[in-house]
Amino acid sequence: MRDGIAIARLGIPAVSLVTEDFWPQGDFVAESLGMPDAPRLRLPHPVAGTGEANLSAVAEAIAPKIVEALAH
Protein backbone atom coordinates (compact mmCIF):
# COMPACT_ATOMS: atom_id res chain seq x y z
CA MET A 1 0.00 0.00 0.00
CA ARG A 2 2.79 2.41 0.93
CA ASP A 3 4.67 1.59 -2.24
CA GLY A 4 1.56 2.10 -4.35
CA ILE A 5 0.95 5.51 -2.80
CA ALA A 6 4.62 6.49 -3.13
CA ILE A 7 4.57 5.57 -6.82
CA ALA A 8 1.27 7.37 -7.39
CA ARG A 9 2.77 10.48 -5.82
CA LEU A 10 5.48 10.38 -8.46
CA GLY A 11 2.74 10.68 -11.04
CA ILE A 12 2.99 7.07 -12.14
CA PRO A 13 -0.28 5.10 -12.30
CA ALA A 14 -0.26 2.52 -9.52
CA VAL A 15 -2.58 0.00 -7.95
CA SER A 16 -1.87 -1.83 -4.71
CA LEU A 17 -2.69 -5.50 -4.21
CA VAL A 18 -4.02 -6.19 -0.73
CA THR A 19 -5.09 -9.57 0.57
CA GLU A 20 -8.44 -10.02 2.28
CA ASP A 21 -7.00 -10.24 5.80
CA PHE A 22 -4.90 -7.12 5.30
CA TRP A 23 -7.68 -4.98 3.81
CA PRO A 24 -8.23 -3.02 7.05
CA GLN A 25 -4.49 -2.32 7.23
CA GLY A 26 -4.62 -1.09 3.64
CA ASP A 27 -7.38 1.33 4.61
CA PHE A 28 -5.35 2.47 7.63
CA VAL A 29 -2.19 3.11 5.61
CA ALA A 30 -4.08 4.91 2.84
CA GLU A 31 -5.81 7.10 5.42
CA SER A 32 -2.57 7.74 7.33
CA LEU A 33 -0.74 8.81 4.20
CA GLY A 34 -3.53 11.17 3.17
CA MET A 35 -4.68 9.23 0.13
CA PRO A 36 -7.74 7.31 1.37
CA ASP A 37 -8.92 6.55 -2.16
CA ALA A 38 -5.58 5.14 -3.34
CA PRO A 39 -6.45 2.41 -5.87
CA ARG A 40 -6.29 -1.09 -4.48
CA LEU A 41 -7.48 -4.53 -5.42
CA ARG A 42 -8.44 -7.34 -3.12
CA LEU A 43 -6.62 -10.67 -3.28
CA PRO A 44 -7.66 -13.82 -1.45
CA HIS A 45 -5.73 -14.67 1.71
CA PRO A 46 -3.29 -16.31 1.94
CA VAL A 47 -1.29 -15.93 -1.24
CA ALA A 48 2.25 -16.56 -0.01
CA GLY A 49 3.22 -20.19 0.20
CA THR A 50 0.10 -21.51 -1.54
CA GLY A 51 1.98 -23.17 -4.41
CA GLU A 52 2.58 -22.35 -8.02
CA ALA A 53 -0.79 -23.53 -9.35
CA ASN A 54 -2.73 -21.34 -6.95
CA LEU A 55 -0.44 -18.36 -7.51
CA SER A 56 -0.99 -18.68 -11.26
CA ALA A 57 -4.75 -18.85 -10.77
CA VAL A 58 -4.72 -15.78 -8.54
CA ALA A 59 -2.53 -13.93 -11.04
CA GLU A 60 -4.78 -14.81 -13.96
CA ALA A 61 -7.85 -13.67 -12.12
CA ILE A 62 -6.39 -10.36 -10.98
CA ALA A 63 -4.35 -9.35 -14.06
CA PRO A 64 -7.30 -7.94 -16.08
CA LYS A 65 -8.46 -5.99 -13.03
CA ILE A 66 -5.00 -4.48 -12.61
CA VAL A 67 -5.00 -3.38 -16.23
CA GLU A 68 -8.47 -1.93 -15.85
CA ALA A 69 -7.52 -0.08 -12.66
CA LEU A 70 -4.38 1.36 -14.23
CA ALA A 71 -6.30 2.51 -17.32
CA HIS A 72 -8.59 4.72 -15.20
The binding site for other proteins (CB under 8 A) comprises: 2, 22, 24-25, 27-29, 32-33, 49
Say how far apart CA 47 and CA 69 lie, in whole Å: 21
Query: What sign results for the dihedral spanned by CA atoms 65, 66, 69, 72?
Result: negative
Q: Which amino acid is at 6?
A: A
Provide the minimum distance between the beta carbon of 18 and other proteins in the complex, in angstroms, as a whole number.
12
12 in helix, strand or coil?
Answer: coil
Radius of gyration of the chain (CA): 13
Provide the minimum distance between the beta carbon of 54 and other proteins in the complex, in angstroms, as a whole number.
15
Q: Which is nearer to other proteins, 21 or 68 (CB)?
A: 21
Q: Which is nearer to other proteins, 50 or 68 (CB)?
A: 50
Q: Which is nearer to other proteins, 54 or 68 (CB)?
A: 54
